[in-house]
């Protein structure tokens, strides 16, 4: 960070004022450094949701919502999606630079040879009901990894942090696939080290011992893209949760489990699941116009899911990539008469032509297209957020490592405005 002048804050009606330095990063707006605000003026700031507050310094991801820009370590997401694969993106996020051929090969091997989970960890699944939500299983099993891998719980040891990172990135897909198989009542499928990360994940999700499973290159690439596009997204709710948990010195498995719990919320990781729920509630394609009219009516309370984005005020750069992939997947699978997917395509058409959507920049976002892709691939909606967690694990791990290695990082301790009762005396039961 560099200093770029200062601002002066004055308490109105008094002579109390304080100068706060303005800090600048590589990209983005200036930030007022208010760390000495309370000691100087005796006041705090109030920012519900931290929408105007930088909680940390990071070199990993940059978003410009107004311009529709997403960068991983400075590289545009469009270029990475076109030219890279998920493992290379993992290396980039964790290490800061793209690998050379030798580094990439070693990294692939390091991840690949950690994909197996401890056999005793399999027994945890027997404790869950068959109809348990897979995200509930993910929270429990990922957190339980700390009970099995004692050799990398020292967060102050660089090598132990690295091994923990490999274990999480490699094993979370295996744990996710096992949660899916458990719900189906099918046997767990062991990972295959001869497959790519995305292809191996599809294999563990879909194969059964009774017959061979052929992996479509189109579907494997689609899954790879979904993972790349969801790998990190700056200081969102789940990433901030991971950092906040990590600031206490908690072990990495507990921190990632906390991130998974935060991701579970429908306002965050459940957004693509909400898209298909919305389409199911509409019912049929002929009812879409009536639904759109309800959306336009502010008093109807009807919400539009999968269009627009809290961060991207112009367009979601990931959605453009997912749109093309979506149509490739539908063509690969020969899907032409699915009512739900027909509805989705009609919603897309309306959003791109209706003035109401265009004027408000309510373009289809990445959740809209990823939901359609996963549905077309036969993956149940309950697994959508799980796949999001598989993708985001590398982002969480990278953010956690960066935070641990940042000498200026302190334990998270937000302030509050207290609006409860003032000081009062206790009254006995006979006087209440």
Active-site hit among 233, 309, 337, 406: 309
Q: Residue 1 above 70 pLDDT?
A: no
Across all residues in the chain, what is the average pLDDT?
91
CB 272 within 8 A of CB 371: yes
Distance CA 45, CA 429 (A): 40
- What are the tens digits of pLDDT across the range 103-121? 999 999 999 999 999 999 9
The residues that bridge with 17 in the sheet, in sequence order, are 10
Q: Is 367 a catalytic residue?
A: yes
What is the C-alpha separation between 357 and 346, in angstroms, rounded?
14
Give yes or no for residue 362 having a pLDDT over 70: yes
From CA 214, how far away is CA 216, in angstroms rounded? 6
pTM for this prediction: 0.90
Task: Note whether 112 and 99 are within 8 A (CB).
Answer: no
C-alpha distances in Å from residue 366, one per residue of 50, 158, 225, 271, 431: 24, 35, 11, 10, 60
Q: Which of 85, 232, 316, 367 is catalytic?
A: 367
- Does the pLDDT of residue 169 top 90, yes or no? yes
pLDDT in tens, 377-415: 999 988 999 999 999 999 999 999 999 999 988 999 999
């Amino acid at each position: 960070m560099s200093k770029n002048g200062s601002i002066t804050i004055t308490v109105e009606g008094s002579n109390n004022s304080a100068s706060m330095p303005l800090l600048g990063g590589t990209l983005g707006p200036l930030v007022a450094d208010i760390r000495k605000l309370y000691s100087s003026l005796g006041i705090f700031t109030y920012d519900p949701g931290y929408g105007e507050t930088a909680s940390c310094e990071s070199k990993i991801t940059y978003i410009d919502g107004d311009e529709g820009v997403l960068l991983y370590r400075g590289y545009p997401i469009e270029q990475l999606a076109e030219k890279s694969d998920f493992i290379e993106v993992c290396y980039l996020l964790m290490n800061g630079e793209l690998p050379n051929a030798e580094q990439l090969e070693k990294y692939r091997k390091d991840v690949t040879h950690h994909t197996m989970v401890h056999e005793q960890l399999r027994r945890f699944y027997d404790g869950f009901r068959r109809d348990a939500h897979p995200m509930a299983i993910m929270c429990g099993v990922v957190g339980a990894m700390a009970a099995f891998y004692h050799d990398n719980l020292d967060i102050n040891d660089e090598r132990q942090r690295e091994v923990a990172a490999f274990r999480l990135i490699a094993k979370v897909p295996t744990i996710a696939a096992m949660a899916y198989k458990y719900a189906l009542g099918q046997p767990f499928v062991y990972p295959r080290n001869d497959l790519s990360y995305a292809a191996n994940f599809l294999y563990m999700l879909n194969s059964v011992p009774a017959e061979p499973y052929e992996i479509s290159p189109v579907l494997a690439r689609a899954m790879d893209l979904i993972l790349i596009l969801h790998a990190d997204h700056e200081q969102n709710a789940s990433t901030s949760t991971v950092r906040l948990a990590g600031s206490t010195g908690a072990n990495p498995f507990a921190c990632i489990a906390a991130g998974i719990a935060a991701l579970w919320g429908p306002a965050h990781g459940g957004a693509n699941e909400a898209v298909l729920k919305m389409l199911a509630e509409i019912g049929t394609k002929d009812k879409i116009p009536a639904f759109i009219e309800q959306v336009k009516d502010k008093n109807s309370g009807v919400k539009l899911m999968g269009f627009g984005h809290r961060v991207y005020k112009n367009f979601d750069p990931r959605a453009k990539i997912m749109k093309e992939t979506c149509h490739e997947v539908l063509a690969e699978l020969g899907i032409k008469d699915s009512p739900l997917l027909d509805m989705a395509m009609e919603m897309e058409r309306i959003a791109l032509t209706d003035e109401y959507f265009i004027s408000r920049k309510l373009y289809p976002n990445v959740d809209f297209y990823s939901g359609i892709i996963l549905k077309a691939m036969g993956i149940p909606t309950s697994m959508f957020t799980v796949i999001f967690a598989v993708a985001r694990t590398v982002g969480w791990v990278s953010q956690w490592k960066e935070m641990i290695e940042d000498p200026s990082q302190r334990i998270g301790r937000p302030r509050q405005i207290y609006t409860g009762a003032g000081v009062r005396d206790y009254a006995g039961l006979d006087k209440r």
